[in-house]
Structure 1
């Protein structure tokens, strides 16, 4: 399954694996939210509430599409966060891994706090 994430300065597509969380997210699309940034991570509320999956991870590759269950939010790291060690992408807490971006995740650096962000199926 593919999704498109767009904001005023750009857009990216991502390919999601078939997981309980990705299915719940897809059922709620399209969604619009206000972006938040935390180091080199963009996150925003989805209005979707799911449980932590057995393979949830806190350290992920840049460009991973993750779901932060504690905040009902998509977490989109493209580099280090304030709690990272070295160059890793360390999320605030373990998150469900949904998939990864198809293009260069560094494009997320153009997202600003408060930007409108939209997620839809491709």
Structure 2
């Protein structure tokens, strides 16, 4: 069976949703097996993150500074991290994550929509039908 080069997911919260395209990485494959799931949103500066229940190792290409709209996996917290602007440890306007994270892909829409996520909101992550 051939693995798709890209996986599409939908991330929903009470006031909105975004889709994301994920690259075929070991972390993406582990995450796909856990879908769908519902978690609780946490906010940290201009970043939304939430627990996935997935435990994976840090990959070689892990990054600490990423572009807004990057879909990252924070291995230390078993969480998806969705930065859309500066975090409390950013230098200037950069998106600096708490520690190096596995980069999975990109949000398809405007990452600024994440500003409508409130700390404690329920977040649902599901596969989009191919």
Provide the C-alpha distance between the structure 1 equivalents of 2:108 and 2:57, rounded to a whole number of angstroms: 26
TM-score, structure 1 as length reference: 1.00
Q: Which ranges of 4 or more aligned residues in structure 1 deviate by more than 3 Å?
A: none
1:23 aligned counterpart, secondary structure: helix
The answer for unaligned runs of 5 or more in structure 1 is none
2:30 aligned counterpart, secondary structure: helix
What residue in structure 2 maps to residue 81 of structure 1? 87
Provide the C-alpha distance between the structure 1 equivalents of 2:109 and 2:80, rounded to a whole number of angstroms: 17
1:82 aligned counterpart, secondary structure: coil
Structure with larger Rg:
2
What residue in structure 1 maps to residue 21 of structure 2? 15
User: 1:36-65 deviations in whole A, cap 9, x for unaligned?
Assistant: 000000000000000000000000000000
The answer for unaligned runs of 5 or more in structure 2 is 1-6
User: 1:60-93 deviations in whole A, cap 9, x for unaligned?
Assistant: 0000000000000000000000000010000000
